[in-house]
Amino acid sequence: MLVKHAPVVKNNLNQLFSNQELEILQSEQGRELLLAEATKIVQAFLEKETGSPGIEQVLFTNFVMQ
């Protein structure tokens, strides 16, 4: 299900990530808030498209700030 919608999901997440401030993301709390927001974005999109949130949580396998 997620594979079919991957381009739109990636775009939505890229928009979220590009609007973040470095100072906020340097704290653990800031990264947790970003993770929660990313999860909400993906779930909302999948709920709209499929009628199901489709995922429990977004997981970061690594986190690089530039």
pLDDT value at 63 more than 90: no
3-state SS string for the chain: CCCCCHHHHHHHHHHHHHCCCHHHHCCHHHHHHHHHHHHHHHHHHHHHHHCCCCCCCCCCCCCCCC
Residue 65 pLDDT:
80
pLDDT confidence of residue 1: 66
Confidence band of 3 (pLDDT split at 50, 70, 90) = confident
pLDDT of residue 46: 92
Confidence check: pLDDT of 44 > 80 = yes
Provide, rounded to the nearest whole percent, the portion of the chain with pLDDT above 70.
Answer: 98
